[in-house]
Chain A
Amino acid sequence: MEQTTMTSDSILELKHIHKTFDDKTIIDDLSFQIQKNEFITLLGPSGCGKTTTLRIIGGFEKPDSGQVLFHGTDITNYPPEKRELNTVFQSYSLFPHMNVEDNIAFGLRLKKKSKAYIRDRISYALRLVNLEGFEKRRPVSLSGGQQQRIAIARAVVNEPKILLLDEPLGALDLKLRQEMQHELIRLKNELGITFIYVTHDQEEALTMSDRIIVMNQGIIQQVGNPVDIYNEPQNAFVADFIGESNIIDGIMVRDRLVTIGGVAFPCVDEGFSPNQLVDVVIRPEDVELVEPENGLTTGIVRDIVFKGVHYEIQVDSQIGISFLVQTTQAFSVGTSVGIRVIPDNIHIMNKPISSDEQIIDKDA
């Protein structure tokens, strides 16, 4: 995991942010730093405080306590218009009584830029989002994807230091969403600015981000690059939220050995107390199905679903646990199989202490 120490490249820092609505804590002692030119994603289920965090950065909400620093300057009490950042809203929020050109020019006209400059910037911004020739169109005549692009053009034309994006692809269909993901990465590289992106979609986060901040119930669960977050989740919440996982109760007998339902599984984790109760996390693609005599334990195939690239298989094991397995090999229902997991692919985690880390369904 990348350590977030204060460096000269830090463009934005949140320090000990607290926020409550109606006595309900939304954000609890939140601190993190964002580096220049980073694509950072706030990822978490709805109600985890990610949008509120973005609104605090944008200046639309004031934290109850804590600070927002921009290049080291405290901007906590600055109104939105005084901040050198722009937002792309989830609902696009194009001004309905203005055409595309007037929407994009809105910020520049307020800054009293010259007509020639504004004209140049409009055509630059429209070229950037591949919508040349749309100047005179009304927002109502545009598709969702087009409105989203105009909203992005309207924001970036002001040359913000940071672009805030609040689930901007949430309302688009799957194919368009994937297209826009690549478009956003291209945009970020072309503009060379910092992106702070809010989403509940883990695939989106893994695809686009340089770094992901996983949040739940107003608390940061893990910060790291997509590979680390996926491969080394720090707790069962992250493991469950990022991709699918088998999360199983286990007992850490000694270093590098865990038992699940009485069966010993060699692993690579150390430093737990003897016989400590732990969460064992195994990714579905890491469960190997072999001949019954070659497995650490055995089971019966209960269900198999074809998913395109792989099959998704439910195996009821002898030790009383149902494993979710992803494999390219097909098995018929009722087949006896051996279950094996190599030590590297078994992740041992401390049981959550507070309710904040309880596993919740990501679709909730």
Chain B
Amino acid sequence: MVKKLFSRLYVGLIILFLYAPIAVLIVLSFNDSKSRVVWGGFTTRWYSEVFSNSTILSAFATTIALALLSALIASVIGTLAALGIDRMRRKQYQVVMFFTNIPLLNADIVTGIALMLWFVRFLPLGFTSLLLAHVTFNIPYVILCVLPKLRQMDVNLYEAARDLGANSRTAFFKITFPFILPGVLSGFFLAVTMSMDDFVITYFTKGAGVNTLSTMIYGEIRKGIKPEMYALSTILFLIILLLLILMNIVPRLKNREQTASAVRDF
């Protein structure tokens, strides 16, 4: 009984600290009053202001373009890297995985400053440097999503395809790739999320003219919090929530499709 009470309390605290602030933010984004404590009635005014503000819209476009592009490039490089790592001997494998994990655990501020120092040597800071930075920190996420799929795969599957007349390219695209696709997709969505989520590295590598939503919100808030920012943050939160749901649903749908057809066959 006490145990149950305690576990409920614990879950309650988690909800309070993790989700209540977000709920407050969402509520405020519909509040028809600039005050943070007075409820002035329901409005979608802040949302329409968001969508008519060209600074916000351009930051929004930059964020989406950056997220999709960096995730796409990281997915290609990360998948190729995973294919190589998968074939390594134990010792090599451990060394490479160690170096793969460093960017994941490294403090963002270190990565951000390091990348900035590196970029300014040969490249004006701007969208390109930003893209390179995001690709860099996204690659490990893709590797970590693809590698387990490759490890699960029976090596003879690829050889069987070769045996039946497929050259190495055909065997990869017809057999290996479909098998690891759920991992590649998870990696892609995770990379999109990570890219949209990032502030610190973006802040250091973006250069003067470029803004993503997170750096723009940060800049705006320093001038004083406007309710549009609540609306914008809510939109950002919902997009990431949607991506998370997609990441969880896509591989499961694939599984269900297989199980369903297996059941149908009986």
Listed in ascending order, the chain A residues whose CB lies under 8 Å from chain B are 58-60, 79-81, 86-87, 89-91, 93, 95-97, 99, 106-107, 110-111, 136-138, 140-141, 154-155, 158
Contact = CB atoms under 8 A, between A and B. Distances in A.
B156 A89 contact: yes
B162 A79 contact: yes
A91 B164 contact: no
Interface stretch (B7-15, B63-71, B126-134, B165-173): B165-173
B163 to A, nearest CB: 5
B163 A86 contact: yes
Interface of B: 154, 156-157, 159-168, 170, 174-175, 178-179, 258, 261-262, 265-266
A140 B157 contact: no
A80 B179 contact: no
6 tightest CB-CB pairs across the interface, nearest first? A107-B164, A93-B156, A80-B162, A93-B160, A141-B262, A89-B156
Contacts, number: 72
A106 B261 contact: no
A81 B154 contact: no
B164 A79 contact: no
Contact of A138 (B163, B168, B261): B261
Contacts of B163: 58-59, 80-81, 86-87, 155
Given A60-B159, A93-B156, A95-B157, A110 B164 contact: yes
A81 B162 contact: yes
A110 B160 CA distance: 13
A154 B164 CA distance: 8
B265 A110 contact: no
A176 B170 CA distance: 35
B179 A81 contact: no
Given A106-B174, A155-B163, 5 more contacts: A59-B162, A81-B162, A86-B164, A107-B165, A141-B262
A24 to B, nearest CB: 14
B258 A110 contact: no
Contacts of B261: 99, 138
B159 A158 contact: no
B250 to A, nearest CB: 15
Contacts of B178: 97
A85 to B, nearest CB: 8
Contacts of B170: 110
A141 B266 contact: yes
Nearest to A106: B164
5 contacts: A60-B159, A81-B166, A87-B160, A97-B179, A138-B258
A140 B266 CA distance: 11
B157 A93 contact: yes
A82 to B, nearest CB: 9
B165 A110 contact: yes
A154 B156 CA distance: 14
A106 B262 CA distance: 20
Contact of A140 (B161, B166, B175, B262): B262
A312 B104 CA distance: 64
Contacts of A97: 178-179, 258
Nearest to B157: A93
A99 B265 CA distance: 10
Contacts of A91: 154, 156
B161 A136 contact: no
A110 B262 contact: no
A111 B165 CA distance: 8
Contacts of B179: 96-97
A290 B27 CA distance: 100
A285 B81 CA distance: 60
Contacts of A140: 258, 262
Given A138-B258, A141-B266, A81 B167 contact: yes
B174 to A, nearest CB: 8
A158 B165 CA distance: 9
Contacts of B161: 95, 106
B156 A110 contact: no
A133 to B, nearest CB: 11
A270 B90 CA distance: 54
A87 B258 CA distance: 26
A140 to B, nearest CB: 5
Given A60-B159, A97-B179, A81 B165 contact: yes
A170 to B, nearest CB: 13
A206 to B, nearest CB: 27
Contacts of A58: 159, 163
A208 to B, nearest CB: 22
Residue of B170, B179, B258 contacting most chain A CB atoms (<10 Å): B258
Contacts of A59: 162-163
A140 B258 CA distance: 9
B154 A93 contact: yes
Contact of A79 (B156, B167, B266): B167
Contacts of A99: 261
Contacts of B266: 141
Given A97-B178, A111-B165, A138-B258, A89 B265 contact: no
Nearest to A86: B163
Contacts of B157: 93, 95-96
B86 to A, nearest CB: 17
B19 to A, nearest CB: 38
A235 B175 CA distance: 46
A90 B159 CA distance: 12
A141 B168 CA distance: 29
B219 to A, nearest CB: 48
A93 B163 CA distance: 11
Contact of B164 (A60, A136, A137, A158): A158
